[in-house]
Amino acid sequence: MRIAVWIITGLLALFFLFVGASKAFASWEFLQAGSMGIPVILLKIAGFAEIVGAVGLIVPAATRVLPILTPIAAIGLVGTMLGATVINIGLGMPAVAVQTGLAGLLSALVAWARLAGPAKITPRSAATPS
């Protein structure tokens, strides 16, 4: 199960890095052209949040330094994807809503697995002075 959680986490991190970077680093004009009425600043904020969330999915668990941050990042991404799913349904984009809904469900799985499930990561123990 641990390997499956790592694979899902890695794929989610790549997904959120790509999607986040495409919003965070795109020009204002480009985002405005495809925003369908959503404020561009909201898209930029969401993009940077997705990048931070992607890093939060991997780094704390991989280093075992503050591993509690991994499920916290996953929970934050669940909220982001829940909002994105609702907005996409409202905009009449069901295919994109399915994509964001699936990303949210997989993020919830990672949050559960890392917080209380079979893939919980324990913090690195502090070095004992000799």
Amino acid at 66: L
Position 2 pLDDT exceeds 80: yes
Q: Is the pLDDT of residue 126 over 70?
A: no
Q: 54 is written with which tokens? A: 């992607």
Angle 27-32-35 from CA coordinates, rounded to 5°:
120
Task: Write down the domain spans for the chain.
Answer: 2-115
Q: Classify burial at 82, counting beta carbons within 10 Å of its beta carbon; exposed 0-12, middle 13-18, buried 19 or more.
A: middle
The predicted-structure confidence for 71-123, as pLDDT tens digits, reads as follows 999 999 999 999 999 999 999 999 999 999 999 999 999 999 999 888 998 89
Average pLDDT across the chain, whole number: 93
Q: How far, in Å, CA of 109 to CA of 117, rounded?
A: 9
| Burial track 40-49 (b if 16+ CB lie within 10 A, e otherwise) | beebbebbeb
